[in-house]
Amino acid sequence: MNNRKMELLSGSLACLLFFVGLSTAQTWSQLPTVGSPPVTGVGGVGYDGANNRLIAFFPGTGGAQVWVLTNANGLGGTSNWIQLTPNGTAPTNSGEASVVYDSRANQLIVYGGCVSNCGSPLSDVFVLHNANGLAGTPAWSQTTTSPPEARENQSAVYNSSNRRMIAFGGGLAFFGTDQNDTRVLVPFNASSSNWSTFGAAGDLPEIREGNTAIYDQAHNLMTIFGGDAAVSTCCPYDIVDYNDVWVLSDADGSGTGTPTWRQLTPTGAAPPARSNQSAVYDSARNIMYVFGGLQFSNATQTQQVLGDLWKLTNANGRGASTPKWTQIGQLGTPPGALFSHGAVFDRVNQRMIVIGGGDRNFQNINLTFVLNLLQH
């Protein structure tokens, strides 16, 4: 959590939103696990679907930790947390990095983030090899990037076919420094890589951080949702939350077309504006699921933690079908209000897996929840 959020949240009140009478509902369960990761806030997660392993990155000023959760979707046996002991030097940061996972190469990539409660942003790119703990000894390596691109609380997605990481927005740690640029790291997991910042066509999304991004690799489309822009600090604070949806075509810059932004106009009631939510993508059904997050009120100068669940159909904006928002009711044991949590999607078994985050009292938790979407 960065400086401007730490300053803000110290005096905020949180509340959990409950929604009743919804037309559809899905069932959550809290996953019983053997062992538990640290209660320090999760920095990012990846999912190895072939082996049903969730890989969680936990930042720390004394060096990050990586934990693996076996049987992460709650199917196939007992779910065990295992701490990895990688060779090499681990990233050192206090959070706000972006994390992507290359399932083909079994590598976890950590980009940017903060130091000293986000007194300054980082430009570091670290790669964890053998990240699932199965194919040899895990090992950290640091990538030399040209030019350095310091950033915190940005979103990032990844194209496994050409090893390109696409990053959007983020900030430079303080009010008034949020960005709306799109950057591609090529190749992202080599010992030496190059950043390319391209000027996309079309209207650009407003400056922001804390947004989420999903990626349709088959069509090279990146969809972003939400986030906030920290305009000015106390007093009063001026923070703008978003609930807009944008799609970037030719998103990794590798094709013959010009990367172009287009704002979607979904039907249905849109989710309340927010930042630091999670989003996962069902590429087979072209649906984005959004859970939780933070919402700031300029009127009351308070921050609210959300616990609602939404789906966006036709999330990549392709074809004749109009995207549509639908709020989903929650049965079973929902996680409750959460922000800055990790989330992954098990496409084969239609399950969303949520780990950690900050709760309604702005306290970190290390619990794991599974949402079964098969009924939907």
- Could you state, in chain order, the average pLDDT of each consecutive group of 10 residues for the chain (376 residues)? 48 38 80 96 97 96 93 96 97 93 96 88 96 96 94 97 96 96 85 88 96 98 98 96 98 93 98 98 98 98 98 96 97 98 97 98 97 82
Q: Measured between alpha carbons, how far is 63 from 121 in angstroms, rounded to an integer?
A: 16
pLDDT of residue 11: 42
pLDDT of residue 10: 42
For 15-51, letters b (16+ CB in 10 Å) and e give: eeeeeeeeeeebbbbebebeeebeebbbbbbbbbbeb
pLDDT of residue 286: 98
Q: Measured between alpha carbons, how far is 63 from 69 in angstroms, rounded to an integer?
A: 20
Q: Measured between alpha carbons, how far is 68 from 303 in angstroms, rounded to an integer?
A: 32
Q: Measured between alpha carbons, how far is 80 from 96 in angstroms, rounded to an integer?
A: 26
pLDDT of residue 63: 86
pLDDT of residue 12: 42
Give the chain's length: 376
3-372 under CATH 2.120.10.80, yes or no: yes
pLDDT of residue 303: 97
